[in-house]
Structure 1
Amino acid sequence: MNNLTSIKASAFWLCIAVLMLTFTAKAQIVIGAPSLGFSQACASESFNSYTTTFVFSPEANLDASNQFIVELSDADGDFSDATVIFTSAAGSVTASPASLDFSIPQTTGGENYKIRIKSTAPVATSSSSVAFAAYYKLQDSPFSINNLVSTGAYCTGSSYLLTIDNPGSPTNDSPLNYPSLNYKWYRETSPTTSVFVAEGAILEVSTEGTYFVETNYGSCTSNSASNRVTISEATNGQADATIASSLGNPYCPAQGLTTLTTIGGNSYQWYKDGNIIEGATNQMYQTNDSGDFSVQVDLGECMATGSIDLVSELFNSDINVEEINTMEEGETLTVTVTDDANNPTYEWYFNNSLIQDETDATYDASEFGNYKVVITENNGCIGAVEYQFTLQEALDLFPDVENIPNLISPNNDGINDTWIIPQRFVSGTNTSIRILTNQGKLVFQTNDYQNNWPQEDLGLTSINQVYYYIIETPDGTTEKGSITVIK
């Protein structure tokens, strides 16, 4: 009885073992090494999609919950700290061969990356793919070095430091904004060839030549490269200091100030038209003027000098009236602006209100008040020029006053500014007018008085001054009296 029981138990466990072996065999798959649909992965913001194809067997052993995973190695092909770059949806891939699309991380950069494929149900891992170059180009546009100054100079026995600008010019996308990037410097050997010099964000140059730097994206081609800078050694203690204008030359002042930049040195002094610009002692100087700008750069053991004839492209213009104009009531003042603007438009204003339908270069002003005209250039260097002028009623220089005044206040307020006397004594009457100080000194004399005394500043203080007048007509009549001048 015991033997029979033992035999049955053995048979039972044998069946269980066979079933488990059968189940285990059914739950296994083999995944082949992934095949790449590309030779190198040169990704950027505008493109980051790659495909791999692989085979697996048997298809029937996949569980409905299975997911395929794409793993990326490090830059040396090591999977010990692999990065998952794609995971398929559960049960979405059931047939072999299969293709998966993936993207590479922004931190990717190297020549020997690999990928492999994993499954989750059942668990399996492929061998790795062939090695490939992979870079995510965080910055892929031209950038500036040396503040876009095309030259530099060093003293004999010294050196010149080239640096990547950050942020550089307003349109410069500096790669220094992306700390993970690194760089390679080159020196030109011909217009089309160059040699590698060094790595890093700066380069100390002690050999003459033309240098530039590229963001290091390995074998991936890139637009992330700098301008060329030609470095020379000072001769006889002197070197040339090139000056660059950020808005070009000629430049358009409507875009704002242009920045003048020269080569790097220990100290600087800027000049305009040969005169020192006070306080302009930095490598950069901003201006919206035209003129002959120059700079002296102290390089340490030697000096560098440079100049630029800076020209503004803004159009030339003029107006045919003064800032303050007078006319009689009922008269008209014809105002004309002239210019060489490209496709100009004209806007006229009266007391800060736009005058509708007045769009010509000429306007007939007939009302007293404040005027303004704005000339705008609409093509090329788009900008505007404004002229302001005032139209006032003309003063009656010879009003019919009855008495000779003995008080004036020459403070330019339009009231009693000059000594206005009756018409029988003024211009055309051949009357002699003399004005003396209280000490008897003659300060004014005429036979053709224009009601315009005092014509000059009398140097008034807080104390009123007294003058004396003598009026003698051709018929022998004499008038005398005093004039008190108050401030």
Structure 2
Amino acid sequence: MNRPTTLSKKAFFFFTLLMCSIGLMAQTLNKPTAIQNPNFGTGGSAWTAVCASSIFNEYYVNFKWSASPSVLSDNTFVLELSDATGSFSSPTTLTTVTDKNSTTDFDIRFVIPLTLRGTGYKLRVKSTSPELYSPASQAYNMYYVDYKSPVQITENGSGSIGDGTISICDGNTAVIAVDNVPNAETYKYIWRKSSTILSETGPTLTVSESGMYNVELDYGAICSGSAGTLSNSITVETGASLGVTINTPTKTSFCEGETATALEATIADSDIFYTWYKDGTVVQAKTLGNYTYAFDTNSPDFDGDYTVKVEADGICSETTPALTISKTGAFTVTENTPLEMVILPGESKTLSVTSTAVSPTYQWYKNSTAISGATTNTITISEEAAYYVTVSQGGACASSLNSNKINVVAPTSFEIIANYTSTYTDCENSEIVLDITTINAVAANGTKTDVTSDLKASMSYQWKKDGTAISGATSSSISLTDIAENGSYQIDATIETFTPSSNTLPVVLRSNEIITIEASSLVACNSTDFITISSPTDLTGATFGWAKNGTIIDTSSLDLNTTEAGTYRLMVTRNGCAIPSNEVTISPLDESLITLDSALNIVFPEGGSKTVTASGGTAYEWRDSNNISISNSASITLNTEGTYTLIAYIESCVILKEVNVTYKDTFKIPNVITVNGDGINDLWFIPNSYAYQADVNVIIYNDKGEEMYNVFEYQNNWPESSTSFTSQNMVFYYKIKKGSDTIKQGTITVIK
């Protein structure tokens, strides 16, 4: 086996040293740490869980990283959130930071998504250029508390709490359910039985044991208490069923006023509470030992279904099956003719009723006076009056019932009212149906009686347009569907010697014609490039107007030429109605619509490259420093120093953007220069990541701390020719700042 030579040992040592140096120079991202919200002032503490809601959702973390070397100029820091298990396999971006590439210690504000609920969420920070990840933070409870009201629970989710008690008999079960939380199934719950937490986490709980139950939404150990969702309590009682019923009386059907024996439960116990119900409504309140109930047959609605509920300590609360009590001899009377009728001279009418009475007898009345011999269910009349009939039933439960009054009028005239059968507005409807809606019989004293249902089918009709009869329009309604039918409509009616005419209805239908317009461009570039808006509709001889933002601006140009942004529409008038076209919206040119996914000043090492992608335009062209076209796509890969021009188009508008590419300097900021005029090291050259940058401020101080040079976008040109140095070796101090942050500082020794 060969032993390593001295040379190989040296090479190994050098390689190890190189690797350590590389490691020391790489960026290090530290895990984000929770801090207090700076908006709450000083003296607070860092958050330990996220309990966000609609009224508060703002949290902060602190992030530190080492810039050896610095990140690239297009870097973005991304605060990422894991899933509820702490996995970053599909992280959620909470926020991004683009202005801290020279700041190694800063705070990050974030809000959580509205759907977040869990106990194992972690945070980490990602840098994009170069792509690195910080270690994950500790796991946190994170909940968006969107429901913050007390939960209500009831049996089977019925919504009725009652007395808050559920009885379970003979080993059966009952279901307690949440009934007031929207989308209840999307939450987790904490169910308790007498303070003991149960295993069920859904919105329903099946119970079989006695105890006191409640629930609250599970927002984690920290957030649940502050949410205030603790529900009402339900007491569950268990016991054996008594099998109580209502004794069936010897008689269950009664006449009004007939004597009836009281109903009684099959179990009579002075230690049991009884509550009596009729058709589900309490008729005798909960009373100890009151196992009977006497119903009153003098009440017209005594018939119905009766039940009794029994309750007591040590037994099941139970309700008996229903016992039906009916009313003997109850019957109805139904009129077979309209309650408002017209009788014409020499005409007669037949009135009739039907009844469910057993072996009924009838007596008709005219203006409340009995009509002799009118003792059947029908009567023929020939005079105006108010008629009704009394129907009587004999037998054990004899009773009588009057029909409704039937008003019969003999008019001196008729009033016909026509109307639109649906919502109608001139120039908005393209079709409409007109119909008779009311026929009033007018008495000599002016009293009007609505007899539409009695006479509408008996009259003959003729519709008129603008006073002229319309051929074939002889029904009570007319349908209009064409603008040629626009006009004023009236209907004449005839019955016997009466010839009433209706009111007049104006009809102005809009045309079904569709007007369209289009523009030669949808973006207003400037005040000299005209956009033409035109329509395929022939406007020759037509009445029309071009509207901008709802105001007519031109009533004569067949095509509209404009340079202004706005919403445009063409209004064409046909038969008195303005027909609007579609809208065309022309937007002002917004150069910010063209965006690049990179900064305009790009720095990368010689031999490297950067792909830049533009967006927001309809077409693109890239040109190099020699104005030669090098690409017609949105993206371009740049690998050479120089100034590149993007020509972006939005419709017919042109927007120019310049991208400057420089190689990243590999040297450090020098601390010595020799101003001896030999052309070597005469100027203080600093790396391009600091020089030529519009947002980087270079400040130089003399040995007394007095500022003597202050410039943005430093051009690597200090000292200037006018700068004088009074001694052989002079020391100056510099600061390089970006915003309020000092990113570099040190000394410069000038040797003459």
- The structure with the largest alpha-carbon Rg is 2
- Measured against the shorter chain, the TM-score band is 0.3 to 0.5
TM-score, with length taken from structure 2: 0.29
Give the structure-1-normalised TM-score.
0.44
